[in-house]
Amino acid sequence: MSKTIHPVLLCGGSGTRLWPLSRKSYPKQFVNLMGEESLFQASAKRLAGNGFAAPSVITGADFRFVVIEQLAALEIAPADILIEPSARNTAAAICAGALVLEVREPGALMLVAPSDHVIPDPARFRAAVEAAAPAAEAGQLVTFGIRPDRPETGYGWLELSEAPDAEFSALPQPLKSFVEKPDLAKAEALLDGGMHLWNAGIFLFSTSAILDAFAKHAPETLAQAKAAVEAAERDLAFTRLAPEPWAQLEDISIDYAVMERADNLTVVPYGGAWSDLGDWQAVWREQNPDANGIVATGPATAIDCRDTLLQSTDEAQELVGIGLEDIIAVAMPDAVLVAHKDRAQDVKKAVAELKAKGAAQAETLPRDFRPWGWYESLVIGKRFQVKRIHVHPGAALSLQSHHHRAEHWIVVEGTAKVTIDDEVKLVSENQSVYIPLGAVHRMENPGKVPLTLIEVQTGSYLGEDDIIRYDDVYARGQGAKG
């Protein structure tokens, strides 16, 4: 590449259309949907190596340690992790990312990419980025258009100035217009016409070009984003954007705020495979259905079924489908989804219904991920709760106390270093320790192997917000997650 590309990975989506596997507490970009790596990890790997700088990541506070952990597993060190105080759509996130990168390297080329897409041929995609670089260096705002293979109504489309060649080469050309998500009849016409591509929401431009575009077309967004960046605070390896100016930002996409108003637009056709995994039908499509159209993942069995996805996430839970056609069935320990494939886009309606009636399953997974590891609730009663807790080697929970509950820890794997008020001791496998209500305590894993323990809580209130932190190596402050 003629100039180093700086990836900016957008990590703020909640992925409600892939409920129950993807939830607000742990959205689809961090889930291993398509193999041993998460979609976020696959995105980071795709945009790493020769010609690419260390990535910047824009995410929410609850996922900052997930980002660090998943990048560390790939041995990728991020250039920045920007923490959004709240979700404000892509215009705000991209503007903030451009402002931060412009300070670090004025005029740098930034490649903006969602972190939850599937692109099976990373080499071909990188070649398309390389083909787009000269136009971006010349001041163009470059977007990447995907070769359509069906009349998709769930995507916006891009109108070309000229038809792609037979090989669908990544040849930059002026973008004629953006097309809103069409109805089926219009989508069929766009597909048949051969002059339109899917809008992938992936962009390449220089920081100077995109900031000039914000100044011209969305000056208020630029002003508030600049205020949020200038008043940002460093927090360990993170940059927390200032919440007050951030809250004033309009919730608007980059397409509406800038792209549809700009006159320096270039599109690069991309002919390789691509999916945004926007719903369960897309997951079924990408997981290579067999001759009968069956995708069965985990302990799932299909009998006399056609064009059906069966997915069970728990080895102790068998999912069996008999005589199903065009059905999605996803089973988790705390929630089950059964839907017709044609209604895959409506899963978000189910999430809204569950949220309205106060069901925890709407947004929260049984397993809650923390910077030190994770825990999951095994049994919940009126005045007691049983959890399994996993602590990474070398990790430590905060020094804390509780107003309303006592705790009993039983170590089943590894060794725990336990602090209870002024006493510090090691607790090994098959040993236990009692933490009285109000005691100041901490659990650490001093070993080289994971620590697993069973926690039994008893008390009048068992919520995660019943916690007072006195010291925390992750600087999380107060609150359930801090």
pLDDT digits (tens, 9 = 90+) for 420-452: 999 999 999 999 999 999 999 999 999 999 999
Query: How far is the C-alpha of 345 from the C-alpha of 155, rounded, in Å?
Result: 12
Q: What is the pLDDT of residue 465?
A: 83
**Side-chain half-sphere exposure of 356, counting CA atoms within 13 A:** 6
pLDDT tens per residue across span 88-105:
999 999 999 999 999 999
Give the CA angle between residues 39, 42, 48 to the nearest 5°. Answer: 145
Q: What is the pLDDT of residue 12?
A: 82
Q: What is the pLDDT of residue 144?
A: 96
Q: What is the pLDDT of residue 326?
A: 97
Task: Give the pLDDT band (50/70/90) at residue 473.
Answer: confident
Q: What is the pLDDT of residue 13?
A: 76
Q: Stretch 126-142: mean pLDDT, rounded?
A: 96
Question: Across-strand partners of 374?
Answer: 369, 390
pLDDT tens per residue across span 146-181:
999 999 998 999 999 999 998 899 899 999 999 999
Q: What is the pLDDT of residue 479?
A: 63
Q: Stretch 286-313: mean pLDDT, rounded?
A: 96
The residues, any chain, with a CB within 8 Å of residue 75's CB and separated by 6 or more, are none
- Delineate the domains of the chain, giving CATH numbers in brackets: 5-270 (3.90.550.10), 280-356 (no CATH), 367-471 (2.60.120.10)
- Does pTM surpass 0.75? yes
pLDDT at 482 over 60: no
Strands 265-270 and 141-146, how do they pair?
parallel
pLDDT at 2 over 80: no
Q: What is the pLDDT of residue 14?
A: 76
Average pLDDT over the chain, rounded to an integer: 93
pLDDT at 367 over 60: yes
